[in-house]
A and B are shown apart, each in its own frame.
Chain A
Amino acid sequence: MVIKTKQVIRVGIGDMNIASSPDTIRTSGLGSCVGIILYDDVKKTAGLAHIMLPDSTLAKKQGMKRAKYADTAIYDLVHALKDIGISTYRLKAKIAGGAQMFQLSSSNDMMRIGPRNIEAVKSILLSFRIPIMAEDVGGTTGRTIEFDPASCELHIRSVNKREKVI
């Protein structure tokens, strides 16, 4: 029998990936970005997307990474999970991020990107009928998150705060 060693799958900014127990999946330094975890608690498999922008129609050019946007990232993640035999109706979600790192009083809409990302993620998940089981969003601090598909726990680390588990 082969004993599989536990690995941490890392997801970069504007990227996505999938992990199954005993592996965990992690993304670092979420600021205004949002980390979206879609998981199946029976098959103990989870996908994670680290999105930067709410909507792919914001793209001013074609052919960019789809995992950067909330809409295309969630769509692709749902389909990638379907491809490995996980039906969308089994999926549950946990989300974290969407902070406002600097309190700019600027009229620049891009500075409100954190809250806009959160809104977009929630409405897209709703349209897929994927329930959000837990969230840690907003605020003014960055987050590094790691999801364990075995326990379905999401560990959240922030500067000067105790690790949080949701």
Chain B
Amino acid sequence: MCEENSFHGNFGPVQFDVLKEIGNIGAGHAATSLSTLLNEKIEMHVPGVEIVDFDEVMELAGGADKEVVSIYQRIGGDAPGSMFFVLTPPHADRFVQRLTGTPQGETGAEIDPEMSISALQELGNILSGAYLTALSDFTKLDLSPTVPFLAQDLVGAILSVGLIELSQVSDQAIVIKTSLMEGEGDQKEFIEGQFFLFPDPLSYKKIFTAMGVLHGD
């Protein structure tokens, strides 16, 4: 169908399931770590795997123009790629309030910005560390994390960083997206964030080989 401009013409349902499972396991572990950290129940959304145009990648995260707080981590090792944890600025503030013990409802304006940045960096460390460890255990691939980076900027500007590698071989991206949510009942969406995983083009073959589901060639 799209052989001429994509690297994933030979993806079947089995490969999609594997990628879904990767998102599932990674975010599942991240949810558990966050749950321990905040001493709250964290729920995880059913993961989605989609092949979309670059513009649609941005739409999945709320639109290229939307302002978000994002933790970006480059993955090294056997299957390099880029990983993002994306949350809205109000959700990021709420997280900082929870972690630093600032009372709820007091707008959060009093939080020391440096404290806020280090709390979010810690969030990044914990979530991406848990996600990667789970992936590594699941695939038996060596996936080494690099230092996570924090940015508050436009979705398009942030996520395009993860599309650069990909854009050399394709006009489309495979998005492995999972959401975390804290709280129950009325408290739902208290803290919500999304993971985006973009394996580098060559990493798919390695992941599928490791999982014994390499298609065709």
Q: Is the interface of A mostly helix, strand, loop or mixed?
A: loop
Mark each residue of chain A from 13 to 31: 1 if its CB lies under 8 Å from any CB of chain B, else 0.
1110000000000001111
Q: A13-B64, A101-B161, A159-B67 are contacts. A31–B5 as well, Cβ < 8 Å? A: no
Task: Chain B residues near A28: list those with CB within 8 A.
Answer: 58, 63-65, 154, 156
Task: Chain B residues near A13: list those with CB within 8 A.
Answer: 54-55, 58, 64, 156, 160, 163
User: Is the C-beta of B112 less than 8 angstroms from some C-beta in chain A?
Assistant: no
User: Is the C-beta of A142 less than 8 angstroms from some C-beta in chain B?
Assistant: yes
| Interchain CB contact under 8 A, B157 and A101 | yes
Most buried by A among B55, B65, B161, B169: B161
Which A-chain residue is minimally distant from B55 (CB atoms)?
Answer: A12
In the assembled complex, the CB of B205 is this many whole angstroms from the nearest CB of chain A, namely 14
User: Is the C-beta of A141 less than 8 angstroms from some C-beta in chain B?
Assistant: yes
| Interchain CB contact under 8 A, B158 and A101 | yes
State A62–B171 Cα separation when bound (angstroms).
Answer: 11
In the assembled complex, the CB of B173 is this many whole angstroms from the nearest CB of chain A, namely 11
| Interchain CB contact under 8 A, B168 and A59 | yes
User: Is the C-beta of A68 less than 8 angstroms from some C-beta in chain B?
Assistant: yes
Further 5 A-B residue pairs, CB within 8 A, beyond A13-B54, A31-B160? A28-B58, A29-B64, A53-B167, A108-B74, A159-B153
